[in-house]
Amino acid sequence: MSSFIERGWYGDDKRWWPLLILLLPISAVLFFISTLRRAWLNRQVDQLVEPPVIVVGNISLGGTGKTPLLAAMIQLLRLKGWSPGVVSRGYGGQSVQYPLLVSSEVPAEQCGDEPKLLVDKTQVPLVVDPNRRRAVAHLLAHCHCDVVLSDDGLQHYALQRDIEIAVLDGQRGVGNGFLFPAGPLREPFTRLAQVDFSVVNIAGPLHPSLAPLEDKLVDMRMEPMAFVHVATGERIPLQSMPSEQLWQVYCGIGNPQRFFMTLTAQGINFEPHIFPDHHSYSSADFTGHADGFVLMTEKDAVKCRDFAGEHWYYLAVEARLAADFIDQLDALLLKVKARKVIAH
State the CB neighbour count (10 A cutoff) for residue 235: 13
Region at 333 (left for phi over 0; alpha for psi -120 to 50; beta for the rest): alpha
Question: Is 183 marked as binding a ligand?
Answer: no
Question: Is 121 marked as binding a ligand?
Answer: no
The residues that bridge with 312 in the sheet, in sequence order, are 294
Quote helix, strand, coil % in the chain, to nearest 5: 40, 20, 40
How far apart are the C-alpha atoms of 46 and 288, rounded to whole Å?
Answer: 54
Question: Is 92 marked as binding a ligand?
Answer: no
Question: Is 264 marked as binding a ligand?
Answer: no
State the CB neighbour count (10 A cutoff) for residue 73: 26
Question: Is 63 marked as binding a ligand?
Answer: yes
Q: Are the beta carbons of 168 and 58 closer than 8 angstroms? A: yes
Looking at residue 131, its amino acid is: N
How far apart are the C-alpha atoms of 176 and 268, rounded to whole Å?
Answer: 32
Question: Is 122 marked as binding a ligand?
Answer: no
How far apart are the C-alpha atoms of 263 and 269, rounded to whole Å?
Answer: 8
By the 10 Å C-beta count (0-12 exposed, 13-18 middle, 19+ buried), 271 is classed as exposed
How far apart are the C-alpha atoms of 298 and 287, rounded to whole Å?
Answer: 20
Mark the binding-site residues for ATP, compressed into ranges.
60-67
Mark the binding-site residues, compressed into ranges.
60-67
